[in-house]
Amino acid sequence: MTRKIKETLRQDHGSRLKKCLFRLVPLLETLQNYTRFDFISDMIAGTTVGLTMLPQSIAYAALAGLTPQCGLNSAFVGVFVYLFFGTTREVFIGPSSLMAILTYEYTKDLTNDHVILLTFICGCVELAMSLLRLGFLVELISVPVSSGFTAATSIIIVVSQLKGLLGISYKASNFLDNFVQIAQRLPQAHYGDVLVGVTGCVSLLFLRKLKDFSSVNKKSKIVSKIFWFLSTGRNALIVLIFSSIAHYYKTTTNKVPFTLSKGANGGLPRLELPPFETHMNNRTIPLKEMVQDLGAGVFIIPIVSVLANISIAKAFANGGMVRATQEMFTLGICNIANSLFQAMPSCGAFTRSAVASASGIRTSVANLYSGAVVMLGLHFLSPYFQYIPRSTLSAVLICACIFLIETDLVPLLWKENKMNLFTFLITIALSLCFGVEIGLLIGVVCDACYLLYLWARPDMVLEFQDTVTNPYILVRPNMGFFFPAVNYVYSTVNKIAITKGQSRFPFVFDCVNFKRADYTAVKGLVLLSKDFQRRGQELYFINVSNSIVSFCATLKSPLKCFRDRTEMELTICGAKMDPINKTEVTVINEVANEKDNSDKDEFETLMLSKL
Amino acid sequence: MTRKIKETLRQDHGSRLKKCLFRLVPLLETLQNYTRFDFISDMIAGTTVGLTMLPQSIAYAALAGLTPQCGLNSAFVGVFVYLFFGTTREVFIGPSSLMAILTYEYTKDLTNDHVILLTFICGCVELAMSLLRLGFLVELISVPVSSGFTAATSIIIVVSQLKGLLGISYKASNFLDNFVQIAQRLPQAHYGDVLVGVTGCVSLLFLRKLKDFSSVNKKSKIVSKIFWFLSTGRNALIVLIFSSIAHYYKTTTNKVPFTLSKGANGGLPRLELPPFETHMNNRTIPLKEMVQDLGAGVFIIPIVSVLANISIAKAFANGGMVRATQEMFTLGICNIANSLFQAMPSCGAFTRSAVASASGIRTSVANLYSGAVVMLGLHFLSPYFQYIPRSTLSAVLICACIFLIETDLVPLLWKENKMNLFTFLITIALSLCFGVEIGLLIGVVCDACYLLYLWARPDMVLEFQDTVTNPYILVRPNMGFFFPAVNYVYSTVNKIAITKGQSRFPFVFDCVNFKRADYTAVKGLVLLSKDFQRRGQELYFINVSNSIVSFCATLKSPLKCFRDRTEMELTICGAKMDPINKTEVTVINEVANEKDNSDKDEFETLMLSKL
């Protein structure tokens, strides 16, 4: 018998260990039921994503003001790590527009070594966040705030890429300065670049539209497939076409009529520790100073990357279950690994996930093939990266970003929830004026203030129990009762109770929603009770929880409590009241709907007519 | 007819103007029904408070590291202003221990001019707060936080006054440094000072106890009255006795065996503009630099003074109704006026209010008499202020402060509400370690986080409707549903729904508490609905508000809604269920009581037994 139990326990222990291991390394669970069909699907999807990643990495590196090499370096390490630890098959860790723009923001006047150190610190912070189980922080960011944040980032990217499209160069000190600079330098625009850029944009938008045709056109399956493929691979396609044109010009006339991007060094990166000191302006800069130079970026970038990654994972996850803490852990490992290969900070990208999902991905093994494709590209295609026109990259970025601005949210939220619209717009406005991190922070604070405000101004239900013998007035806050509401509830009840005519009725305070005994709130009730006592007016409490009764007893200020409404009615009216007699009215507060206004008038009329 | 209406309107207009004026200058309303009894009561109470204020002002000025003159200057202007605009008769504006310790904190290395400028800025900030109607900010400070803040301030005062009691001198850099300094300098303690100080403390504590005897001793009314008077006027009494001793020594032997305080210049202060530049270390310091020197003090001190004033007003107000915005306005005017008379920042003090209340104050006209007494004192008693022993002042301050530390809150909150205890203790600890303003801020943030946490982890009620034909499971979040809860509610419902055995039941989501359509929350419900659809499991929504229905319609993701539970039951079960069949269980979350734990086990057992 004992042996049996012990055996069961051992088995149980074993299975728990296995479960833990499976939770830590989801790949193990995936491989348990890996089929040939999974294998083929993953290979197709992984390769497609890999091919998308190559031009994307170069474009995002340009966005961050870095060499193409730096972008490419960050495109293969993350996927290999995510293969083991990732929870969502559609997520591919690599360079992303958000990370690029933020990296640019914090390292624009610094060295490449700063970027690599930033990647390392990001990884460490993400890892620390996962160990501290800070996954819940992400829950504090509402959709309007994260949409506003994304929209602002996209606008900043679009505006900052206009110079590439126009073939001009400048350094803007802030978002608005971009417009001033562009207006000043517009006459210097380079026609070759404008032509390539605009053609690129138009083609990309057209190819994007093709996808809609592919789903409409159900006659021919092959045409539909081709349309879909052209649409999905449009970035790689446009880059390929314009690079070929550049290559043609270079080899035939040795003069290209538009600006090309910086070439990549070629080959795979070296494996080495991230730089813990660097040289700038003929001076050695120690680690401490480097970190100071990076400023708030060492916190903002990891937080934003976690947020972005989890948002993407949530959008694609099967059943929507995302283990935020595990995602943070994985992202941390990815970025630490990235920093060993001279890469920029990375996280998942919505575009890659969309491609993977559309390509029929089955499991996260697809990461393996993406990584392999990027490595092969790095090895064999590097010499050709220099032929990519600068304005083509700008066109790719602009066309990717403009669709991240959810303009349709404005009419939707205007109609349905103006408070949400406010946070959406304030996040965008502050992000554009003072930087995306300020916008995000103030957006979250606005949301939090609104929720605190709800605690401070609870809806209150007023009932006038109209009987000939013993009428009474019942007051019930419609939610929990905590310190911010004490002043409001206290003065509202007192105000109603001393209104001419109402002071002769007994009052009943319903504590049904007041479960957790907050000290301030309990003191408020005691004070209220004393005020009624001083006025010689009756005040009863019903549905009082044990914790509040005991709290008042400890304070030596017992309240006149009844267990519930029936008991109270039996005692003060001598009989249980017929609910038909009740007139229930909600007292407005500022948050409530307009509807309640009429209720208030009604209540006032009613009160006046009764008294 | 028209004339009649117009007349009525004019009258109405006139009475509204009158009401407004009465609200702005409560004195006018008071004077309307002022009786001879009020007059006498106010004169007695006002004079008593004035006599209390004289030694208090000198002590608090010493606490702030200022000359006695500076404290006395601030003791008569405020009361005259408050006479007109104040809302609470028991409040007397003047120097207070809290203001003194904070003023010391921000001006310890600065000039007297800085202090006067600080008073002026405080007044302006308070006035601005009242014009911006920021009275509600005070509601965000819960009793545990304000008690913690008061306790920490008191501890700091007590520790900082020990040096006066011991007759030693040092400058401490922070709270803990005080102990180190005292320990080092203990051998230098001056026996005369220690003797005077300890005698003072013991006498004060004894006189304080007398009040209890006065209420117990009901035999002789006169003895009782004398006891009460000695107890209430103990500060003035002790100061008088020890000053007389000092005066005796000085006149007879010309040598006093203990340290005396700095003398006052004597006479009434000049009326002049606050200094907008000053001289320090042989350098002229312009206004901008002076403000920079004052640092965060220019915000912290007005906020704290408003908080303190409103807390005191609340504690004494008749019916507890305090018009926070009017109090801010009055305090602002008081401090601006104070700054014209070279005074330190001031606000109400609990001690004075207690004295006023105990002396039978009737209206705020009492302020007039207090002000007059202080002015007379300034004019005639100034030459004698130099005879007040330094350690007597320390004794007065220590004995006033130790009773502001509510040690009984610790066992009370330990028993009733550990979260409140946590904020109380964290506020004290951080106030002592990093300054009272940091403690206050973190205390408020802790409280706010707790309230946000409640939104994030709502209690959820689970009902298993157990019928033979069509059982279903009902889920109802027990409070409003906003973005921080989306992830939790979403994964909890999904987790319950896919648990082995429960996946075959239809689910019902009760939106009765979900009134305000938050975009994130609506999206969460839509996502949940899609998950159920993908699993082929039914999910119905009941009690859905119109705003949510319209929101989902705009999102083109209609939910399967029923108006209420009966309609849903009629449709999916074919008949209304008998409520007796219901088994109601609350799903725990981390905030809930331990009681719920057993419920959870019960529910799990139940679920397992059913399935």
Angle at A67 between CA A62 and CA A68, to 5 degrees: 75
- Residue to mutate among B451, B533, B546, with most A CBs inside 10 A, is B451
- CA distance linking residue A405 with residue A407, whole number of Å: 6
Q: Are A440 and A156 in contact (CB under 8 A)?
A: no
Q: Which of A424, A135, A111 is nearest to A293 (CA)?
A: A111
Q: What is the mean pLDDT of residues B219-246?
A: 80
The 10s digit of each residue's pLDDT in A399-434 is 877 887 888 889 989 888 889 999 999 999 998 888
pLDDT confidence of residue A13 = 61
Q: Is the pLDDT of residue B428 over 90?
A: yes
Chain CA centroid to CA B323, Å: 15
Q: Chain B window 587-606: which residues touch A at a Cβ cutoff of 8 Å?
A: 591, 593
Least CB–CB distance from B554: residue in A412, A456, A479:
A412
Percent of all residues in chain B with a pLDDT value above 70, rounded to a whole number: 88
Q: Residues A176-196, buried b or exposed e (16+ Cβ, 10 A)? A: eebeebbeeeeeeebeebbeb
Measured CA to CA, the distance from residue A125 to residue B504 in angstroms comes to: 43
Q: Is some CB atom of chain B closer than 8 A to the CB atom of A491?
A: yes
Alpha-carbon distance of B57 to B75, in angstroms, equals 7
Residues of chain A neighbouring B503 (CB-CB closer than 8 A): none
Say if the Cβ atoms of B498 and A551 lie within 8 Å: no
Interface test with A, best of B323, B479, B520 (most A CBs within 10 A): B520
Distance from CA of B417 to the nearest CA of A (A): 7
B494 contacts in chain A (CB < 8 Å):
319-321
How close is the nearest chain A Cα to the Cα of B114, in Å? Answer: 33
The answer, for B120 touching chain A at a CB cutoff of 8 Å, is no
In degrees and rounded to multiples of 5, residue A429 shows phi and psi of -60, -45
Q: Does B487 touch chain A (CB under 8 A)?
A: yes
Is A494 in Cβ contact with B320 (below 8 Å)?
yes
Interchain contact, B142 vs A555, CB within 8 Å = no
Is B504 buried (19+), middle (13-18) or exposed (0-12) by CB count in 10 A?
A: exposed
pLDDT at A467: 65
Cβ of residue B410 closer than 8 Å to a chain A Cβ: no
Q: What is the DSSP track for A296-348?
A: THHHHHHHHHHHHHHHHHHHHSGGG---HHHHHHHHHHHHHHHHTTT----EE
Kindly tell me the sign of the dihedral angle through the C-alpha atoms of A101, A104, A105, A107. positive
User: Cβ distance B386 to B64 under 8 Å?
Assistant: no
Token output for A223: 């045409």
From A320, A488, A591, residue closest to B531, measured CB to CB: A320
A486–B417 C-beta distance less than 8 A: no
Q: pLDDT-based confidence at B579, cuts 50/70/90?
A: low
User: If pLDDT is split at 50, 70 and 90, which confidence band does A339 have?
Assistant: very high
Which DSSP string do the residues of B546-571 spell out, in sequence order?
Answer: HHHHHHHHHTT----EESSHHHHHHH
For residues B395 and B81, the answer to whether their CB atoms sit within 8 Å is no
CATH architecture of A457-610: 2-Layer Sandwich (3.30)
Which of B591, B43, B124 minimizes the C-alpha distance to B333?
A: B124
Query: How many Cβ pairs closer than 8 A exist between chain A and B?
Result: 139
Cross-chain Cβ contact B518/A420 below 8 Å: yes
The two tokens of residue B170 are: 């040092």
The pLDDT of A15-43, averaged and rounded, is 85
State the DSSP code for A169.
-
**% of chain B surpassing 90 pLDDT:** 14
Distance CA A72, CA A346 (A): 11
> In the sheet where A582-587 sits, what is the strand order?
A561-562, A539-542, A507-510, A472-477, A460-465, A582-587
**Chain B within 8 Å of A137 (Cβ-Cβ)?**
no
A197 with A165: CB under 8 angstroms?
yes
Cβ contact A494–B452 (<8 Å): no
Could you tell me where in chain B the CATH 3.30.750.24 domains are found?
457-610
Residue A600 has pLDDT above 50, yes or no: no
Residue B353 contacts residue B130 (beta carbons within 8 Å): no
Q: How many C-beta neighbours within 10 Å does residue B375 have?
A: 18
CB pair distance less than 8 Å for A448 and B448 = yes
Residues of A in contact with B485 (CB under 8 A): 139
Q: What is the reported pLDDT for B345?
A: 93
Q: How far is A33 from B130, CA to CA, in rounded Å?
A: 68
Q: Is the Cβ pair B144, A454 closer than 8 Å?
A: no
Among the partner residues A139, A420, A498, nearest to B456 by beta-carbon distance:
A139
Amino acid at A263: G
pLDDT(A601) > 90: no
CB contacts under 8 A, B 465-484 vs A, are 479-480, 482-484
Does the predicted TM-score (pTM) go above 0.90?
A: no
What is the reported pLDDT for B87?
Answer: 86
Out of B140, B321, B547, closest to residue A416 by CB:
B547
Task: Specify whether the CB–CB gap between B40 and B233 falls below 8 A.
Answer: no
- Cβ-defined contact of A320 to B480 (cutoff 8 Å): no
Q: Is B611 on the interface with A (CB under 8 A)?
A: no
pLDDT given for residue B602 in this prediction:
43
Q: Describe the crossing of helices A234-253 and A221-232 by its angle, rounded to 10 degrees.
A: 70
CA distance linking residue B486 with residue A47, whole number of Å: 35
Question: Other CB atoms closer than 10 Å to residue B323's CB: what's the count?
Answer: 19
Other beta carbons within 10 angstroms of residue A404's beta carbon come to: 18
C-alpha–C-alpha distance, residues B553 and B547, integer Å: 10
Residue ranges in B435-545 assigned as alpha helix (H): 436-456, 483-498, 519-535
Judging by DSSP bridges, how do beta strands A347-348 and A283-285 pair with one another? Answer: unpaired
Task: Compare A118 and B504 and report the one with higher pLDDT.
Answer: A118
CB A346, CB A338: distance < 8 Å: yes
pLDDT at site A564: 81
Q: Nearest CA to CA, how far is B374 from chain A (Å)?
A: 34
Cβ-based neighbours of B88, under 8 Å, separated by 6 or more? B312, B313, B316, B317, B322, B327, B364
The residue to which tokens 């003065």 are assigned: A491
Residue with tokens 């007051």: A475
What distance lies between CA B105 and its chain's CA centroid? 19
Whether B139 and A321 lie within 8 Å, measured CB to CB: no
Q: What pLDDT shows up at residue B5?
A: 46
Residue type, A34: Y
Judging contacts by C-beta atoms under 8 Å, the chain B residues touching residue A412 are 554-555
Tell me the chain A residues in contact with residue B140 when contact means C-beta distances shorter than 8 Å.
Answer: 452, 456, 483-484
Q: What is the DSSP letter of B271?
A: -
Collapsing DSSP to helix, strand or coil, A275 comes out as coil
Best mutation site among A316, A483, A539 for testing chain B: the one with the most B CBs within 10 Å? A483
Number of H helices, E strands in chain B: 27, 10
Judge whether residue A7 has pLDDT over 90.
no
Q: Write out the two tokens for B378.
A: 């300034």
Q: Do B519 and A140 touch (CB under 8 A)?
A: no
Q: Which residues of A touch B498 (CB under 8 A)?
A: 319
CA dist A314 to A350, A357, B514, Å? Answer: 11, 13, 23
At A241 the three-state DSSP class reads helix
User: What pLDDT does B318 receive?
Assistant: 57
Distance CA B56, CA B70 (A): 12
Nearest-neighbour CA in chain A from B137: distance (Å): 9
Q: How far apart are the C-alpha atoms of B457 and A156, rounded to whole Å?
A: 36
- Is the Cβ–Cβ distance between A200 and A206 less than 8 Å? no
**Cα distances (angstroms) measured from residue A442 to each of A490, B158, B442:** 31, 40, 18
Residues 306-335 of A with CB under 8 A from B: 319-321, 324
- Judged by CB atoms closer than 8 Å, whether chains meet at B417 and A519 is answered as yes
Model pLDDT, residue B385: 77
- Asked if A139's CB is within 8 angstroms of B451's CB, the reply is no
Note the pLDDT of residue A2.
45
SS3 category, A587: strand
Nearest CA to CA, how far is B319 from chain A (Å)? 6
Reading the block at residue B489, the tokens are 């509610």
B247-295 pLDDT tens trace: 898 889 888 888 887 766 667 788 888 888 888 888 888 888 888 888 8
pLDDT at residue A358 above 90?
no
Band of the pLDDT at A369, cuts 50, 70, 90?
A: very high
Q: What is the mean pLDDT of residues B119-139?
A: 88
ipTM over cut 0.85: no
CB contact under 8 A, B451 and A482: yes
- Angstrom distance (rounded) from CA A49 to CA A348: 12
What pLDDT does residue A594 have? Answer: 35
pLDDT in tens, A549-588: 888 888 888 888 888 888 888 877 776 665 545 554 544 4
B447 interface with A at CB cutoff 8 Å: yes
Across the interface, whether the CB atoms of A452 and B456 are under 8 A apart is answered no
Question: Is B166 in contact with B189 (CB distance < 8 Å)?
Answer: yes
> Which of A322, A512, A519 to mutate against chain B (most B CBs within 10 Å)?
A519
- Written as six digits, the tokens of B78 are 């405020």
Judge: B452–A456 Cβ closer than 8 Å, yes or no: no
Q: How far is B396 from chain A (nearest CA, A)?
A: 29
Chain A from 511 to 550: CB within 8 A of any B CB: 516-520, 522-523, 527-528, 531, 534, 547, 550
Residues whose CB falls within 8 Å of the CB of residue B325, separated by 6 or more in sequence, listed in order: B130, B133, B134, B135
Whether B82 contacts B67, CB under 8 Å? no
Flag whether pLDDT at A171 surpasses 80. Answer: no
Residue reference for tokens 């205390």: B443
Q: Where does residue A584 fall: left (phi above 0), alpha (psi -120 to 50 degrees), or beta otherwise?
A: beta
CA A317, A320, A323, A329: dihedral to nearest 10 degrees?
A: 30
